[in-house]
Structures are given as structure tokens and as C-alpha cells.
Amino acid sequence: MTLSDIVAHVKNYDNIAILPHVQADGDAWGSCLALGIALKKLNKRVTVIGEEKIPYIYEFLPQLEMIAYNGHEDKVFDLVISLDTGDMGRVGNRSNVFETTQNTVNIDHHSTNTGFAKYNYLDVDAAATGEIVYEIINILNVEVDADIATCLYVAIATDTGCFKFSNTTFKTHAIASDLVKRGVNVAAVSQRVFDSTTKEKVRLIGRAINTLELLEDGRLAFISITNDMLIAAGAKEEDCDGIVNIGRNIEGVESSVVIREKSAGEYKVNLRSKSYVDVGRVAFKFGGGGHKMAAGCTIKGDLESVRKSLHDELKRLL
Amino acid sequence: MTLSDIVAHVKNYDNIAILPHVQADGDAWGSCLALGIALKKLNKRVTVIGEEKIPYIYEFLPQLEMIAYNGHEDKVFDLVISLDTGDMGRVGNRSNVFETTQNTVNIDHHSTNTGFAKYNYLDVDAAATGEIVYEIINILNVEVDADIATCLYVAIATDTGCFKFSNTTFKTHAIASDLVKRGVNVAAVSQRVFDSTTKEKVRLIGRAINTLELLEDGRLAFISITNDMLIAAGAKEEDCDGIVNIGRNIEGVESSVVIREKSAGEYKVNLRSKSYVDVGRVAFKFGGGGHKMAAGCTIKGDLESVRKSLHDELKRLL
């Protein structure tokens, strides 16, 4: 099905639900809100149904009153559209909405998409679902105003790591150019989305860095995070996200490991590599999984034995 | 003088020197190399004359053999072009090249540019000098190949903080789109330029975070860096750059201060604010200067008294 076919189909319905995936990120929220605003301009009734509350960093996005987190269970929609969602598992608790609505549409850019809806559109070359929604809004012939532009900018900027990841194409920047022209406050949005942090996370990073060890001539970086460190910093588990990149970004480091205490005798492990080590295979050996450059697993034991097992495995690959 | 006039002028000469400013950044190096490569394609002899060695993060840029750091003193050039350089002070030790060359061109985007050359072109709306050089290369009718594209991409991406600063315009993204199309390896360049760091800098950051204090209901952040901390981390003075943003990026913080020991009884102070505090005025009170959002000064005294003076001054503005 072409995107024009999908759009022609969507235009037939009036009471529309739009679903981001569970643990929705900037692309999911930005895409859903942008499409919602555009459809409302065509006098559709739109409900964006979220699984979890929108995170603080996206709370500045416009027209959040479109979002429902509950109370939608008994509602009947003419059409439901899932965005940026690879499979039904990622629809989460909102699967009833999907199952009770006759007309379902799935629009995504993940290569693993299972085509779980009645009408499916997949573009794996799109850096973000936001790029596809930008096209949809153009096909709908709705003017991209500053609200829509801001939502799409957040969608595209977050899924490309602020235009730094390898999925960034000339099309990504061409769309960003148009969005900026239409009124995105680039500095304010970027500060909020990319550069805002909490004192707890900063304090956790300080403590985590204190544990940094560089082994194998500086090619291997280890950081450990205990529950005591989390408590002392007042930090939450999600504050551990991204700490593995601190090791990875050091000159000369090929593989970076963060070992995080999950419970007594159980450690969650994040693995990253820069160019040649396949950390996905290492994680697989310990019952986990992932990709060549980014993987994870859970290992039982004490901190020292977990560290030693990972060190032994990784040093053979360096 | 229009840019076309400048370009017509440049075309008349064969032996050309191009100068970045002292302590050249990504925009200065990228712009000089891009223009150098383009002029070489027109069979000009080109020497890019640097004041200091090109930093590690830019060492992957193409055709560095064009750069001379010395040995150029006795050479005679037909034309010298300074790029991204606000005044003669920023020409530094290479002022003799500027003084002994009859035809001098100054191309820049800083509003403070003093127009110190025979021919001057200033575009304060350009996010980076790289944007102006992109236009020049188009006027020269030289094809933007992958080498030129990579240099210009680095110029533009660095001066916009990877498309995050308020100087980023629709034109910035439109140019980036064209550059990416012509063969920039976005992920590799971004990793090297924005995300690579050293173990010494990481260790310094860890120690700096350990000193983080939040005052005035979390609106004011203080970090102190002593010489002992630098030595313990094996870090250099330049590794302190950017640490002031750690405090600034914390939710709720309006003003962030880093106090760094310069010598016994003398402290260098970096100040940042997020929205309403004018730290430039604070720095000015202590004999320093800067802008509303970013400023600096040097204060004599012991660490505790320096901290107290700054605290007293800042809390009245919060």
C-alpha cells in the first residue's frame, strides 16, 4: 500500500485514536501529536492514547490535551493508527483499542515491523516515523504550522541523536530545514530535549566515573553501579541509561561495560563497542542479546566474578 | 562588497594563504580546508597557515598537507584570506603574513568584526563561516566533493553545537542536507567531533561533580576545580572547558558557576545562565566580561571567599 492509499483511507473516518508504542520516545510522541494536530485541522476527533505519562522532557509539546491515558477503554473509534510501533507487544495495554476497532493502520520505520494491522505502511529508510508523518501531512494538504513543526522536529531530532546517527540522511536535514522555517525554537527545544538533566543523574554520573577502570591498554572500560550508589545519589534506575557511553566515548576504548546491581547476586550488564568487537555475541553467551555495537544481559554472581567473566570474554575479542 | 565581488577578486591570484584564527575551532579549520581544497581544484597554490596544531578531533579532516605551521615567514603570497577571524589580534603570530601581503581578504560572521583587511565580507546571519564558504564554492562553480563536504559539515555542525544553538536556521539545515548528499559520513564524523573524549577529562568530570553544590533552592550550581584535582586526574587546563554546562543543564538551575584554581590565591571563574540572570554583569563587577548567558572573570582570594563573593552577587539576581 502506498502512503497516498493510506492517507486516502484515513480521510474516510472521523473518530480516530492514535497510539505511540509503550515507553514512548520522542519519535513516538512527536509523531502522534503532529498527526493528531493535522487531523484535528481536518475536523476529525482525535485521541492520542498513551501507555505511560509523557516524560518531562517532552511535556512542553503543544496540544497535550489530545492525550488520554485511561478512560478510553469503553470508547469506540472508527479508526486506530499505531505509529512507530514494531509489533502488537509494543501496543501494550492498549491492545483492546486495537482489537475492538475495525479499521487499523500501522505506520512505522522499524525493519522488524510485523505488519500487524489491516493496513500497514513501512519505510525502513526513514530516519524516524516523524519523517513519514511529515509526508502524510503534506499529502493531507494540511499546512505545517509551528505546533506541528515542533512535534515533528522533536520526533526526527531524537531518533537521529540530534542528527548524529548513521540514519541521518540528506532528506532528514531537508525536512528539518522546512520545519525550522515554520517556527521551531531550536535552542529552547534542544536544551529541553537533549541537554536537560537532574541533579540526581549528575551525582550518579560522578559516582559512576569514580569506578571507571581502563583495562587491556585502555581498549576496555568498566564502570560499576551498586544500589548503594543509586541511593546515595538519590537516583532512579532509569538514570543509569547512557552511562555506558561515558566509557565508549573515551579515545582508545573499543568496548565499554556498565555492570549494575539489580538485586542481591544479580547484575544487569550494558555493553557497547566502537568498531570491531561484536558485543551482541558476548551478551548472547550470557543469555542476553542485542546488536554488534550495543547489547545487554543479566548475570548472577558477585560483582567481582561478573566483572571477571566479562573481562575474560571481551579480552579475547580485542 | 558582495560575495561575488570578493570571489571575482580571489580568482585573480595564484599563490594564496588562508588563515584560521588563533586557537582555531571546527568552523575555522573546516572553512579554511574547504576553501583550500576548492581553490586547489582551480589550480591555485594554497597554504593554510595555522597558529597551533590542529586538535585531535579534527585530525581526520582531508588534505591536511595543505597546512603549514611554520616556515612560511619568508614566503611571499599574492593574496591572504583570513576566515572566521574578528580582528587582527585573532590573526596572532601570523600578522606578518597579513602585513607583507598586498591583497588581504577578511571573511567572517562575527558581529564584532573590525573590517581589518583590504576587502571585507561579513554576514552576521550565517551560523558559521562555513556557510559563507559554501556559498563561495558555489560561486566559484567548483563541485562540492566528499572532502569539501566533510570540511564544511564540521565547520557548520561545530559552530551550531550540532544544530542545537539559536544560530541554526533553515539555511543551515538546507546546506547540511546538500553536504550529506555529497558524502559526509555523519556517524563517524559526529562520534569523533562531538562524542570523543579522553580518560583524563572523564576523570576530571567525575571529581568536579563530586564538588557540585546546589544553592538557593537549586537555582544556583557551584563546582570547584583545584590544581590537585587536575593533577590527580592527569588532566590539562583545557579539559575544564564545558564543565560549567554540567551545572547549567540541571533542571531548576538558572545560574552555574565553575571556580578553577589558576595559581595560589587566584581563581578563574566561568559563569552561565539559562534564561534571566545576566552573568555578563556579574563578571563585569569582578573585572571580567562576556554575554548575558555566558561570561567569565578572574578573582583573587581563597576558594571560600571567592565562592562567597560570587554567591552574594548571584543570589540577588535569582
Q: Report pLDDT for B56.
A: 87
User: Chain A within 8 Å of B165 (Cβ-Cβ)?
Assistant: yes
**Is the confidence at residue A208, as pLDDT, over 90?**
yes
The mean pLDDT of A2-17, rounded to a whole number, is: 96
Average pLDDT of chain B? 95
pLDDT in tens, B61-75: 999 999 999 877 778
In a mutational test of the B interface, the residue from A184, A249, A291 whose CB has the highest number of chain B CBs within 10 Å is A249
The alpha-carbon gap from A245 to the nearest alpha carbon of chain B, in Å, equals 9
**Is the confidence at residue A74, as pLDDT, over 80?**
no
The mean pLDDT of A263-272, rounded to a whole number, is: 94
Of B161, B143, B163, B119, residue with least CA distance to B1: B119
Amino acid identity at B161: G
The alpha-carbon gap from A297 to the nearest alpha carbon of chain B, in Å, equals 25
pLDDT in tens, A182-191: 999 999 999 9
pTM of the model: 0.91
Q: How many Cβ pairs within 8 Å bridge chains A and B?
A: 142
Helix, strand, or coil here: A112?
coil
Would you place residue A1 in the very low, low, confident or very high pLDDT band (cuts 50, 70, 90)? confident
Q: Which residues contact A157 (CB under 8 A, 6 or more apart)?
A: A26, A163, A176, A189, A190, A193, A194, B163
- State percent of chain B over pLDDT 90: 92
The CATH number given to B199-315 is 3.10.310.30
User: Chain A within 8 Å of B76 (Cβ-Cβ)?
Assistant: no
User: Chain B within 8 Å of A93 (Cβ-Cβ)?
Assistant: no
Rounded to whole angstroms, the maximal C-alpha distance in chain B is 63
Helix, strand, or coil here: A70?
coil
**ipTM of this complex prediction, to 2 decimal places:** 0.90
pLDDT in tens, B146-186: 999 999 999 999 999 999 999 999 999 999 999 999 999 99
Q: Report pLDDT for B4.
A: 97
User: Chain A within 8 Å of B312 (Cβ-Cβ)?
Assistant: no
The DSSP bridge partners found for residue B45 are B15
Q: Report pLDDT for B1.
A: 85
Q: Report pLDDT for A73.
A: 73
DSSP state of A92: G
Which of A169, A180, A245 lies nearest to residue B170, judging by beta carbons?
Answer: A180
In terms of CA atoms, which chain A residue is nearest residue B202? A209
User: Under an 8 A CB cutoff, do A166 and B174 touch?
Assistant: no
Q: Where in chain A is the domain with CATH 3.90.1640.10?
A: 3-194
**Is the confidence at residue A240, as pLDDT, over 80?**
yes
- State percent of chain A over pLDDT 70: 100
CATH architecture of residue range(s) A3-194: Alpha-Beta Complex (3.90)
Burial, A287: exposed, middle or buried (Cβ in 10 Å; 0-12, 13-18, 19+)? exposed
Q: Provide the 10 A C-beta neighbour count for residue A101.
A: 22
The mean pLDDT of A136-155, rounded to a whole number, is: 98
In a mutational test of the B interface, the residue from A199, A219, A222, A291 whose CB has the highest number of chain B CBs within 10 Å is A199
What are the cell numbers at B200? 583524563
User: Chain A within 8 Å of B192 (Cβ-Cβ)?
Assistant: no
Higher pLDDT, A291 or A154: A154
Which positions in chain A touch B163 (Cβ < 8 Å)? 157, 162-163, 176, 186, 190
In a mutational test of the B interface, the residue from A131, A177, A254 whose CB has the highest number of chain B CBs within 10 Å is A177
Higher pLDDT, B128 or A70: B128
Q: How many CA atoms lie within 13 A of B63 on its CB side?
A: 24
Q: Where in chain B is the domain with CATH 3.10.310.30?
A: 199-315
Helix, strand, or coil here: A297?
strand
The mean pLDDT of A207-217, rounded to a whole number, is: 97
Three-state SS across chain B?
CCHHHHHHHHCCCCEEEEECCCCCCHHHHHHHHHHHHHHHHCCCEEEEECCCCCCHHHCCCCCHHHEECCCCCCCCCCEEEEECCCCHHHHHHHHHHHHHCCEEEEEECCCCCCCCCCEEEECCCCCCHHHHHHHHHHHCCCCCCHHHHHHHHHHHHHHCCCCCCCCCCHHHHHHHHHHHHCCCCHHHHHHHHHCCECHHHHHHHHHHHHCCEEECCCCEEEEEECHHHHHHHCCCHHHHCCCHHHHHCECCCCEEEEEEEEECCEEEEEEEECCCCCHHHHHHHCCCEECCCEEEEEEECCHHHHHHHHHHHHHCCC
- State percent of chain A over pLDDT 90: 92
| Distance from C-alpha of B298 to C-alpha of B318, rounded to nearest angstrom | 22
How many helices and strands, by DSSP H and E, does chain A display?
A: 12, 12
| Distance from C-alpha of A284 to C-alpha of A278, rounded to nearest angstrom | 10
| Distance from C-alpha of A223 to C-alpha of A213, rounded to nearest angstrom | 7
Which of A171, A195, A206 lies nearest to residue B210, judging by beta carbons?
Answer: A206
Q: Report pLDDT for A71.
A: 73
Q: Report pLDDT for A290.
A: 84
Amino acid identity at B224: S
The sign of the dihedral angle between the CA atoms of B21, B26, B27, B29 is: positive
